[in-house]
A = this chain, B = another copy of it.
Amino acid sequence: MDERTFLESYDPRNFPAVAVTVDVVALTIREGSLQVLLVERGEAPFAGRLALPGGFVKSETLDDAALRELAEETGLNAGHGDLSRVHLEQLRTYGDPGRDPRMRVVSVAYLAFAPSLPDPRAGGDAAAAVWKPVEGAEDLAFDHGRILADGLERARAKLEYSPLATAFVGPEFTIAELRAVYAAVWGEDLHAGNFHRKVLSVPGFVEGTGTTTARGGERGGPRAKLYRAGDARVLHPPLLRPTAEEAVR
């Protein structure tokens, strides 16, 4: 940035009133469906409407601010324990003038992936926070609907070439559980045999524990082998979505 312009703005009197916030698209899988963490707004604007959890950035990194907001809204501990297995990544920044009617707000959106978490208890300054299926969560406050849509598209794309799906399951999991994650996020069923073959053929995606589940499925079937997440950071070859790829003009 240019020095002269900087010094002009350096004087607080000349400061444009810009606020910097973080908003978090926290995704999890509960009861087989992809759900997002939302809070009900108590005051205007958009009073009574659902919104993404978020808040002002303090003297901290942007990543820390997002993690802190997530911890406050869910009532879980950030540093140790509960949220330690949450995958957090920056999504995109939204800063159109007018996206908040009160003032200029530049919001850095984050994407969080978590295994099934307990119901949020209103900790800190949180209003009522709830998990909602993403299908019913289009009508949000501010431009949060667009942010959620961007986050979902990112999540769906990242499942293809990253081991992100393991962030949605426990420390040990079966191939079928992993397949259920893909099915929930992509919204379509996958061929069990092919999925099995492909997951095991990607180096470093999963590694066997040598153990199996204690018992078979609830409606029958053999015990499944258990796996842990491997050390791969990218999946090669990737697991591509069956549809929604071609004809994207």
Contact = CB atoms under 8 A, between A and B. Distances in A.
A43 interface: yes
Interface in A75-114: 90, 92-93, 95-97, 102-108
Interface residues of A, number: 58
Dominant SS among interface residues on chain A:
loop
Contacts of A126: 2
Contacts of A57: 16, 18, 95, 106
Contact of A232 (B15, B43, B203, B248): B248
Most buried by B among A17, A42, A95, A204: A95
**How many copies altogether?**
2
Given A5-B125, A232-B248, A103 B10 contact: yes
A195 B44 CA distance: 56
Contact of A236 (B42, B56, B58, B248): B248
A245 B236 contact: yes
A15 B17 contact: yes
Contacts of A10: 102-103
Given A97-B61, A233-B249, A245-B236, A18 B17 contact: no
Nearest to A246: B236
A54 interface: yes
A108 to B, nearest CB: 5
Contacts of A246: 203, 236
A245 B235 CA distance: 9
Given A108-B95, A203-B246, A23 B42 contact: no
Contact of A234 (B2, B51, B245): B245
Interface of A: 1-6, 9-10, 12, 15-21, 23, 41-43, 51, 54-62, 90, 92-93, 95-97, 102-108, 125-127, 203-204, 231-234, 236, 245-249
A13 to B, nearest CB: 9
Contact of A248 (B108, B127, B233, B245): B233
A182 to B, nearest CB: 19
